[in-house]
Chain A
Amino acid sequence: MDMPLPDQRILNARDGLIARLRGVLPADAVIADPAETRAYECDALAAYRCAPLAVVLPRTTAEVSAVLRLCSQMGVKVVPRGAGTSLAGGSFPTADCVVLGVARMNAVIETDYDNRFIRVQTGRTNLAVTGAVEADGWFYAPDPSSQLACAIAGNIAMNSGGAHCLKYGVTTNNLLGVTIVLMSGEVVEIGGPWSDAPGLDLLGVICGSEGQLGIVTEAYLRILPKPEGARPVLMGFAANEVAGACVADIIRAGLLPVAIEFMDRPCIRACEDFAKAGYPDCEALLIVEVEGSPAEIDAQLARIKDIALRHNPVAYRESGSEEESRKIWLGRKSAFGAMGNIADYMCLDGTIPVSELPYVLRRIAEMSAAVGLSVANVFHAGDGNMHPLILYNANKPGDLELCEALGADILKLCVEVGGCLTGEHGVGVEKRDLMPVQFNPADLEAQLRVKDVFDPDWLLNPAKVFPLDVTASRRAS
């Protein structure tokens, strides 16, 4: 992958920069020792690594502002970082940048059940947000599988989703307001604990902006009362097409499960070997989860069963206890781990119209056979967000390149059938060069103009999201 040449002038100014950073931050907030910055050389797209000039770990919005003011005066690029779990290389540093991590900003600022919000510093992990309100019967709905580790900062920047977004929406639907620090150091409050934006929906464009527009330091999040209970059902089918048709019928019937997860045969096998969850040996497997009181759950599952039985499932297993629920989810939740156990893998994230599911799965099988790599599919079927996992061998010369080329072809296929390159992981550096597949020059130019407004010198999170040739003139000036 191409990255711009580091700015030699900035590399030369490293010592002066670090001294000045120490001037505006407490001593322990500036990390310059290469042994200590190593942990920040990559995110979860670990194939790409690069040591930054320095890492700063501020504790307050004022400190973030001081760092950005200084860096913008000196013309130094800044890469924002939450917990570094991005699968798209979103927090991948450049050699001439300062990484600004918000991990130490993890306080709860205010909890207000009457008005149904929590205000947190964005370094707080996703799970710790729910953790702060759970004892009182509340939760924060967006639940990425990485929720134990990932921070609200990264969730907002990537507009992350989760298994339960079918019912509750993704981050942008649960975000009420932010404190954002612009590259100039200016602090701006956007939105708040009320519903409507008074003017333009700036919050809407900041969410999902992948650290291109500013550094989000605090956020108002919508919290919800916890449902009384939840219960999954597992169903196996003899063909992907049949499982796909069953998903469409459930949606059509107006049932609103909180999750509909899909796994294909290669994925089922790998998970079974790894987690021993007792999954049936079949072509396609669905996990459907519903919520409510026990009686409500029974009523919903009765409907879902009616629909499923019409599609002749080879297995149909309703959870009868906490333990059975845990087992049903166990295989799905360990899917990435199971894959990692077999081989290196690359996780794709395209979305397709749900009606195209059988066709796309067939094409992926053909394409992967043609290049001789295996692909396992596990995804959020209710909304068409696919996660094909391409298995490869990092130690075999050329395999990574082969895998990346197949990944690009699969994502192009997603766009071709009316979908998109990324449903929840973001573009980062990973899909940057594919953007012209989905957007024409005018579409991209409109996005660059938004960036121009927030970060006129193009110093924030450089060389991400937009193809390098498209941004060359802006980055140069």
Chain B
Amino acid sequence: MTPLVLQPQSEAELGEMIRAAEGPVSLRGGGTRGVAYGPGTVLETAGLSGISLYEPGALTLVAGAGTPLAEVEAVLSAQNQRLAFEAPDLRRALQRHGVSTLGGVVATNASGPRRVQAGAARDHLIGVRFVDGMGTVVKSGGRVMKNVTGLDLVKLMAGSHGTLGVITQVAFKLQAVPECAVTLQTQVPLSAGLALLRRALGSPFEVSGAAYGPFGAALRVEGMEASVRYRVASLKALLGGDWVETAGDALWVGVRDAQGLNDGALWRVSCKPTAAEGVVAALAGVAHQAIFDWGGGLIWIAVQGLGDAGAALIRGAVAGVGHATLMRGTGAAAFAPEAAGVAALSRALRAQFDPKGILNAGIMG
């Protein structure tokens, strides 16, 4: 008899379980996601845990997909290093408990405010191992920073939400924590604030955060102390106005985790930065709150009181300039419908990697 929850302790055992599976299998890393699990058996990756290689001098880490993110962050922090893409902690926003895992971070291609400078999980992922829908173990990439050998399945697995395979091991390139970080803040109206952020991003002063929210417009500058001092002064001169300097990461953690957007449906909108204002303007007259990250390229929006969670308004406004994912709430599909050509390719890829159609079936639409 199949147990209710599968808990493989090794890649080989996982392979056997998937080969034997006849019905849908829902993958669970730390279970910190918000969407309900699909039908069928739940498979937990917690047993595929542990750091197998950490070379600080080469800025490389290899670990099991079930390894808790927090464990990795603690190990890196002891060597003054980090994962540069700032994986969010969405437990509060998604009303979940549990511990986020490396596999979940990769499967959702997680990223935070530093994306404007350093990219997302996909840009730091240098190797994966996974078990496909037939139970076969596949590897792509490796543990070196530059690698163009064969098709880049590493990127394909990042953000695949468990629909192409169960990730068993991941390799990341790391970043040294810079010695200094300063946040600049100013209170200005939305339109002016977003324009300031875009100007800062278009300057040579290497901003690693550019957000707008209840705190006003905020910029982050990181690096060597002397360099940060210089760039902060240059940004102030370039942008004009009154900027307050603060140290510490609290504001950026708040932006990263969509803090404060606890009521109603929660959307994550990825768009052309100059389109951001228009997207939110489409919600005029509807109760909502928004936080803008990436200079407007990412908008977190909480919408209250609409049956479709606001899908028609938001997806209508973002059509052609980006797309919107429903992270919390019901009444609309989580992922935006894709154009026919893209949808056909994606469907065909899933059929190749998971011909039985059992892995996280249907969760990406």
A contact set with B: CB distance below 8 Å: 113-116, 137, 158-159, 161, 165, 169-170, 172-173, 186-190, 192-205, 207-209, 212, 225-228, 248-249, 251-254, 256, 292-293, 295-296, 299-300, 303, 351-355, 380, 383-385, 418-427, 431, 435, 438-440, 442-447, 449-454, 465
Residues in B328-365 with C-beta less than 8 Å from chain A = 335-336, 338-339, 341-343, 345-346, 348-349, 352-353, 364-365
10 closest A-B pairs (Cβ-Cβ)? A204-B155, A254-B176, A423-B146, A188-B341, A383-B145, A198-B323, A196-B270, A449-B352, A299-B226, A351-B144
Further contacts, 18 of them, CB under 8 A, given A251-B57, A352-B144, A384-B144: A170-B146, A192-B322, A194-B322, A195-B115, A196-B159, A198-B270, A198-B325, A199-B365, A202-B342, A205-B155, A212-B151, A292-B230, A296-B226, A385-B146, A418-B143, A423-B146, A438-B150, A439-B139
Instruction: Decide: A353 and B55 in contact? CB cutoff 8 A.
Output: yes
Contacts of A137 in B (CB 8 A): 204
Q: Which residue of B lies closest to A452 (CB)?
A: B352
Kindly state whether residue B119 has any CB partner on chain A within 8 Å. Answer: yes
B224 adjacent to A300 (CB under 8 Å): yes
Is the CB of B310 closer than 8 A to any CB of chain A? no
Q: Indicate if B321 sits at the interface (CB-CB under 8 A).
A: yes
Whether the Cβ atoms of A435 and B150 lie closer than 8 Å is yes
* Cross-chain pairs A/B with CB under 8 angstroms, 6 sampled: A194-B272, A205-B155, A253-B176, A254-B80, A420-B144, A439-B139
**Cβ contact within 8 Å between B353 and A195:** no
| Min C-beta distance of B269 to chain A, whole Å | 9
CB-based contact B55/A423 at 8 Å: no
Binds A, one of B16-24, B184-192, B195-203, B240-248: B195-203
Whether A208 pairs with B148 at a CB distance below 8 angstroms is yes
Q: Bound state CA distance, A375 and B198, in angstroms?
A: 49
Partner of A172, one of B152, B204, B231: B152
CA distance A199 to B270 in the complex (A): 12
CB distance from A448 to the nearest CB of B (A): 9
Min distance, Cβ A282 to any Cβ of chain B, angstroms: 23
Q: Which of B201, B270, B321, B339 contacts A116 (CB under 8 A)?
A: B201
> B289 within 8 Å of A by Cβ?
no
**Number of B positions contacting A (CB below 8 A):** 82
CB < 8 Å neighbour of A197 from B80, B137, B144, B159: B159
Question: Which residues of the partner chain A approach B336 to less than 8 Å between Cβ atoms?
Answer: 198
Interface string of B146-170 (1 = CB under 8 A from A): 1111111111101110011000000
Given contacts A199-B338, A254-B177, A446-B132, contact A207 B152 (CB under 8 A): yes
Does B273 count as interface, using CB distance less than 8 angstroms? Answer: yes
Distance A248 CA – B60 CA, assembled complex (angstroms): 12
**Most chain-B CB neighbours within 10 Å: which of A172, A195, A355, A452?**
A195
B31 to chain A, nearest CB (A): 22
CB-based contact B146/A351 at 8 Å: yes
User: CA–CA, A77 to B325, complex, Å?
Assistant: 40
- The reply to whether B144 and A159 form a contact with Cβ atoms under 8 Å apart is no
- Residue B294 at the A interface, CB < 8 A? yes
Contact across chains for A450 and B148 when beta carbons are under 8 A apart: no
Decide if A159 touches B353 in the complex (CB within 8 Å): no
B151 touches A442 (CB 8 A): no
A160 to B99, CA, bound (A): 37
Complex Cα–Cα for A423 and B352 (A): 27
Q: A225-B204, A295-B230, A424-B148 are in contact. Are A254 and B179 (CB under 8 A)?
A: yes
Q: Determine if A353 and B147 form an interchain contact, defined as CB atoms under 8 angstroms apart.
A: no
Q: Are A196 and B120 in contact (CB under 8 A)?
A: yes
Q: Which residue of A lies closest to B294 (CB)?
A: A195
Give B136's nearest chain A residue, CB to CB: A442
Separation of A452 and B230 alpha carbons in the complex (Å):
53
- Distance, CA A73 to CA B143, complexed state (A): 42
- Docked-complex contact A355 and B57, CB < 8 angstroms: yes
0/1 string, B125-142, CB within 8 A of A gives 1 = 000000010001111101
Asked if B160 and A427 make an inter-chain contact with CB atoms under 8 angstroms apart, the answer reads no
Q: Is the CB of B152 within 8 A of A159?
A: yes
